[in-house]
Amino acid sequence: MLNSDMRLPVRDDSTPAHVGFLLIPDFALLAYASAIEPLRAANRLSGRSLYRWSHVSIDGAPASASNGVAIAADASVGGDLRLDYLIVCAGGNPALFHHQPTFAWLRQLARRGVRIGGVSGGPYLLARANVLTGYRFTIHWEHAPAFLEEYPDLDLRRSLYEIDRDRLTCSGGTAPLDMLHAVIAREHGSDLALAVSEWFLQTHVREGTGPQRMPLRERLGIAHAPLLRVIGRMEQTIEQPEARENLARLANVSLRQLERLFRQHLGRSLGEHYLILRLDRARDLLRQTSLSILEIALACGFASASHFSRSYSGRFGHPPRSERLTQHPIARR
């Protein structure tokens, strides 16, 4: 189903849309392939050149995906390309990307009316370039906690994809197949879009507003509804952990019964599960933000940096500061 405010023009089939793919080092190959392959399929199935594409890297050299596969670039950032779309493909840790010429080029393209998109971690770079203000958008769930710490006032949605006027953002993975289905349907008709989806054995085209993650029931292999309600609330209250008594009331059981449910279904206590959630969030923030250790401790519900450090070392076998020793900022020049 198309979003009511997509506002993408119906294109003249005689003029192929030129789509640029900006490949950031460590980009996710699956998300990139899921974005470019529907364009190839649309050309093949329609028997016309509806789309053409170019690959762009920071310096014009081949860009390497997170699995080591390198893709040759047709141009470098700042190149004089006449684009209709530019899709930023990023993965790894986009929070470490600080290449000012890239941000300047994105702003320039936006001023020229190029439709700007991002997949997986790509929306992080769009925010850094200041081209998402006033737009609805999404990002891969893994990057969302760090993103919200840096950009709490932007309109981030936890959806599969968002098309808001001339901004197209997608959470990554195979979700670009769904987003490109919507784009192709708007520009060239639903029959072609459905044919493209069928060609890729996509038996169900998901709506943009669909969830990014599996439901807790499937993710944890638990069918106990009250326990799932409690775990869902815990995942939503990392910064200010919910009192155990409140969680028991949410499940409509006694605190002792709730503890037994955690032991029975998860093999650990309520407190141990909450601690794992908070420490996993802390690790993400350590890897993806420049927040201080104290700031991260407070954001994850710890009263002090020392308590946080002890707990972190107990779970991961090393102190929090060690997480940052192996992190290298990407392209700061």
Clarify whether residues 122 and 51 are in a common domain.
yes
Give DSSP secondary structure letters for 245-258.
Answer: HHHHHHHTS-HHHH
User: pLDDT digit of tens for each residue in the chain (333 aa)?
Assistant: 344 344 444 445 568 999 999 999 999 999 999 999 999 999 999 999 999 999 999 999 999 999 999 999 999 999 888 999 999 999 888 888 999 999 999 999 999 999 999 999 999 999 999 999 999 999 998 888 888 888 999 999 888 899 999 999 999 899 999 999 999 999 999 999 999 999 988 878 878 777 677 677 778 888 888 999 999 899 888 888 889 899 999 999 999 999 999 999 999 999 999 999 999 889 888 887 778 889 899 988 898 889 999 999 999 999 998 887 555 555 544
Residue 11 lies in a domain: no
Indicate whether 4 belongs to any domain.
no
Q: Same structural domain for residues 181 and 292?
A: no
Structural domain count, the chain: 2
- CATH of residue 293's domain is 1.10.10.60
Q: Report the amino acid identity of residue 113.
A: G
Amino acid at 198: E
Handedness of CA 205, 211, 217, 221 (dihedral sign): positive
| Furthest C-alpha separation in the chain | 69
With CA atoms as reference, report the closest residue to 148 among 172, 183, 130, 124. 124
> Following CA atoms 210, 213, 215, 221 in sequence, which dihedral angle do they give, to the nearest 10 degrees?
160
The C-alpha atoms of residue 52 and residue 45 are separated, in whole angstroms, by 14
In a domain, 74, yes or no: yes
Q: Which two tokens stand for residue 294?
A: 């104290």
User: What is the C-alpha end-to-end distance of the chain, expressed in Å?
Assistant: 42
Q: Which domain holds residue 91?
A: 17-199
Query: Which residue reads 């919507």 in tokens?
Result: 182
| Range 266-275, long-range pairs (CB < 8 A, 24+ positions) | 266/220, 266/222, 270/230, 270/244, 271/244, 273/231, 273/234, 274/234, 274/241, 275/311, 275/315
Q: CB–CB of 142/122 below 8 Å?
A: no
Q: What's the token pair of residue 101?
A: 């010429």
104, part of any domain: yes
Report, in angstroms and rounded to the nearest whole number, the Rg of the chain calculated over CA atoms. 22
Token duo for residue 127: 């925010």
Q: List alpha helices for 211-254, DSSP H.
A: 216-220, 225-236, 244-251
Last residue of a domain, one of 155, 173, 199: 199
**Structure tokens given for 232:** 């869902």
Q: Do residue 245 and residue 318 come from a single domain?
A: yes
Q: What is the CATH number of the domain that holds 21?
A: 3.40.50.880
Are 177 and 245 members of one domain? Answer: no
- Let me know whether 276 and 192 are in one domain: no
Rounded CA-CA distance 145/273 in Å is: 19
What are the residues facing 20 on neighbouring strands?
A: 54, 86
Answer yes or no: is 209 within a domain: no
Within 141-245, strands assigned E span 155-157, 161-164, 167-170
pLDDT for position 2? 41
Q: Alpha-carbon distance 158 to 212, whole Å?
A: 7
Triad 51, 63, 201: Cα angle to 5°: 45
Report pTM.
Answer: 0.76
Asked if residue 186 and residue 252 are part of one domain, the reply reads: no
* pLDDT score at 329: 52
